[in-house]
Structure 1
């Protein structure tokens, strides 16, 4: 029994280890970047499936298939140099947007530069930080987000402790100042009116003999 001729042309390329970093979000981004190298009508025939890119075209598109395959093969060689986008970083490391901003400010998470794009439906372009794939891989391998969260929790606890101690000190000083003011008022209030004149007249002195 003869094997029926193939109905489509298929090419597959393994992705480099630094490609998706286990992130579905980044895999979608890589697929989008690879498709940009193809004519618009052919972009839907390329997909990223797991750790490989797959191109499939109808058998009649042999010439277009050869040209597209060459472009994709060249593009895949550059995948490891693709910057990691903010949404991809959050998915790869399992962190929140708030943590990403905080750790960037603390220079734990290092920016590899910025990118500016014009978004559909927005009048102004959007500028955001991007990250080096090797830097993100190192953070992932060392599980640094877990360590950073522990350090942040310890720092927050210490800050709360210091703030509570400062509030206690402030209340103690306020009570002390209030007590001193009360003693002064008592001393002045206990002095009889005209006492100085009364004493000056010598009325308290013993009568002379």
Structure 2
């Protein structure tokens, strides 16, 4: 429940982020806070702070107009905070996965994308685009232990590939031996390789000239 305090010296309001919104992830909590701060005008950004799971807005009593505007902006953002798309670093922390796993499972479709987002890096002209993820889908992955299943599947595929290398090498060697044996057999059956009876007589009579 948001709390408002006005003691004549400072205006204060606090919002507590639910575990449904944060997934118990400190990275997700910080990401939500940064999203809330981005909704404020530059002059009010520093007035918003994060204390654990509490988002705190504190401003001097003399800035009541700015405080009310900032409070309205945060309230509006908080209304849909549980549906805020999850960004890459957040999903890695929530699911306990590495960047390589995220890329692999995203590429093969096991980790569904909810679309892409483009942002401009602070102080730079460069923009980056990345995939975001639906919180409901991420919750489902957690509930059914999908990550553990995917890791088992990947380990099995990797083991099969390792076993396949020597097997293919063995097949190659076997095929080569078969080809060599066949070649030797063909050479043995060639007339030139078979001793000819009466060769000397043919040669003496000049029949091969």
TM norm. shorter chain > 0.5: yes
Larger C-alpha radius of gyration, 1 or 2? Answer: 1
Deviations 1:107-161 (A, max 9, x none): 1110001112233465553221111111112212333212211111012112322
Bigger shift: 97-106 or 49-58?
49-58
Work out whether residues 30 and 48 of structure 1, in 8 Å CA contact, stay in contact via their aligned partners in 2: no
Instruction: Indicate yes or no: 2:198 matched with 1:191.
Output: no
Unaligned residue ranges in structure 1 (runs of 5+): 202-209
Q: Deviations over 1:19-76 (max 9, x none)?
A: 2212222222211111122221221121233332111112332332233222211211
Q: TM-score, normalized by length of structure 1?
A: 0.81
1:97 is the counterpart of 2:104: no
In 1, the alpha carbon distance for the partners of 2:129 and 2:197 equals: 80
- Give distance in 1, aligned partners of 2:164 and 2:95: 32
Partner in structure 1 of residue 52 of structure 2: 50
Q: TM-score, normalised by structure 2?
A: 0.81
| Structure 2 residue ranges without an equivalent (≥5) | 1-6, 203-209
Secondary structure at the counterpart of residue 104 of structure 2? helix
Structure 2 residue aligned with 1:204: none
| Alignment partner, residue 111 of structure 1 | 113
Give the corresponding residue for 1:83. Answer: 85
Structure 1 position 161 matched with structure 2 position 169:
no
* CA contact 2:48–2:58 (8 Å) conserved in 1: yes
Which secondary structure state, in structure 2, belongs to the residue aligned with residue 12 of structure 1? strand
Q: Is 1:174 paired with 2:176?
A: yes
Mapping of residues 67-82 of structure 1, within 5 Å: 67-82=69-84
Q: Which has the higher contact order (CA 8 A, sep 6+)?
A: 1
The alpha carbon displacement at 1:90 in A equals: 1.2
Task: State the Cα RMSD in Å.
Answer: 2.6
Q: Is the 8 A contact 1:115 1:127 kept in 2?
A: yes
Distance verdict in 2 for CA 1:122–1:186, change over 3 Å: farther
Q: Which residue of structure 1 aligns with residue 35 of structure 2?
A: 33
- Hey, what's the Cα distance between the residues in 1 that align with 2:24 and 2:135? 12
Q: How many residues align?
A: 196
